Structure 1
């Protein structure tokens, strides 16, 4: 069965607490008799996220509509991994654009009232292969130079930046974890704010009860989809 992909607009990432991390999926710790510790790592780690969210009125209706479209565990969410600590998109494009999106050339928006979700991209300066732990990007804007701790992505595969080395020619070599999961060609786009494909593990995940003010505060957890 082909799973439907539901893109969650950046405007719906109305979060009060954010936790994106890599689940290395290691086996339970095993203590050895010689005092050492044995750790068995899984070959297929994945990104996970836990978000505390608050929204009301139009935003809350839109959230419910996207959840219903995803049909619980059946669908796949394409998420903007909103992470202002790693990359502050609002500071680059402005708060209004970050929250409401980019309209069509005519000035019109989608029926939900939102426009296209904004993002900022760099270009891969050289090819890289799946399994590599370094990628090289071109960046001519000092405000966009990647920083250790930032989460970026290529082709909806997130990667965490662990080191940045300036090469002196407007290119930067980035150490990344987890290793690259798909081949990258020179010129491919690398998202400064990561995007990824995620799923929930409970059909009721993200349910948003509300009160008299049409306001809801809820939590939802996501895990990365590896089989695509």
Structure 2
């Protein structure tokens, strides 16, 4: 099954609440007579999300409909740019450009006034296998500001930092959930995190238009971890 990936920027539709949680997909057995119990964890935990959005008006509602209908229910997937409200700011990581285009080394821009795009990323310095829960990164790229609670992605796989040891090229970032795929040296962690998700149900995202041609949508999402995901 080849699923179409549709770009979705949560900030474009003015997301008002942000709830991304790891579903460990544990299976609990019956409690014993002593009160003890067992939990068996699934081999493929995944992220689930509940996003609420501000009131949309006519043009925004049409745009919303266009995206939701492209999904064909749970068939296609969204590449969601999270815009975590707790991600570091450009000022905190010490960027002189604060998200603006970056010029050439001599300070000039291209003839049309554009520059190089700037990402909130840091290179991975050592290859890590699937199942690892730490990565060695060059934290200088982030002003050594990354810490527990920051979400990041690697190739659209989403993770959350739980701690960091060291600084600069000696920084070791600890995170959950374990790596779903190997990560190779020179790949990057991205604090402008992205995640590939499907709708929780075929009717998720339906928008009721109220008097005044307004509507306030919401989305329930589950991470795509199944067949066909690379």
Pairs within 5 Å for 1:65-76: 65-76=66-77
Query: Residues of 2 paired with 1:63 and 1:127: CA distance?
Result: 40
After superposition, the CA RMSD in angstroms is: 2.9
1:20 is aligned to 20
For 2:146 and 2:65, how far apart are their aligned partners in 1? 34
CA distance, structure 2, for counterparts of residue 208 and residue 89 of structure 1: 34
Which residue in 2 is equivalent to 1:155?
A: 155
| Aligned positions of 1:42-61 closer than 5 A | 42-54=42-54, 55-61=56-62
Q: Structure 2: give runs of 5+ residues left out of the alignment.
A: 102-110
- Residue 35 of structure 1, CA deviation: 2.2
Give the direction of change, closer, same or farther, for the CA distance of 1:145–1:90 in structure 2 (3 Å limit): closer
Consecutive unaligned residues of structure 1, counting only runs of 5 or more, are: 98-104, 109-116
**Structure 1 length normalisation: TM-score?**
0.81
Q: 1 CA distance for matches of 2:16 and 2:203?
A: 20
Checking the alignment, whether the CA contact within 8 Å between 2:122 and 2:138 is kept in structure 1 is yes
Report if the CA contact (8 A) 1:18-1:52 is conserved.
yes
Instruction: Return the alpha-carbon distance in structure 2 between the equivalents of residues 225 and 5 of structure 1.
Output: 11
Pairs aligned (count): 213
Structure 1 Cα separation of the partners of residues 209 and 144 of structure 2? 39
Displacement of 1:150: 1.1
Preserved CA contact (<8 Å) 2:126 2:185:
yes
1:1-228 → structure 2 map (5 Å cutoff)? 1-28=1-28, 30-54=30-54, 55-88=56-89, 119-141=119-141, 143=143, 145-167=145-167, 169-227=168-226, 228=229
Which has the higher mean CA deviation after the structures are superposed, 146-155 or 208-217? 208-217
Instruction: Between 80-89 and 61-70, report the one with greater CA deviation.
Output: 80-89
Shift, 1:213, TM fit: 3.7
CA distance in 1, matches of 2:198, 2:89: 25
Q: Which moved more, 1:156-165 or 1:11-20?
A: 11-20
Between Structure 1 and Structure 2, the one with more helix by share is: 1
CA distance in 2, matches of 1:86, 1:203: 31
* Pair 210,94 (structure 1): closer, same or farther in 2 beyond 3 Å: farther
Cα distance in structure 2, aligned partners of 1:154 and 1:206: 27
Deviation at 1:57, TM superposition (A): 3.6
Counterpart contact for 1:163–1:174, Cα < 8 Å: yes
Deviation at 1:78, TM superposition (A): 0.8
For the residues of structure 2 that align with 1:95 and 1:57, how far apart are their CA atoms? 30
- Residue 102 of structure 1 is matched in structure 2 by none
C-alpha distance in 1 between matches for 2:90 and 2:205 = 24
Quote the offset at 1:212 in angstroms.
3.9
Query: Which TM-score applies when normalising by structure 2?
Result: 0.80
**2 CA distance for matches of 1:221 and 1:142?**
31
Q: What displacement does 1:95 show?
A: 9.3
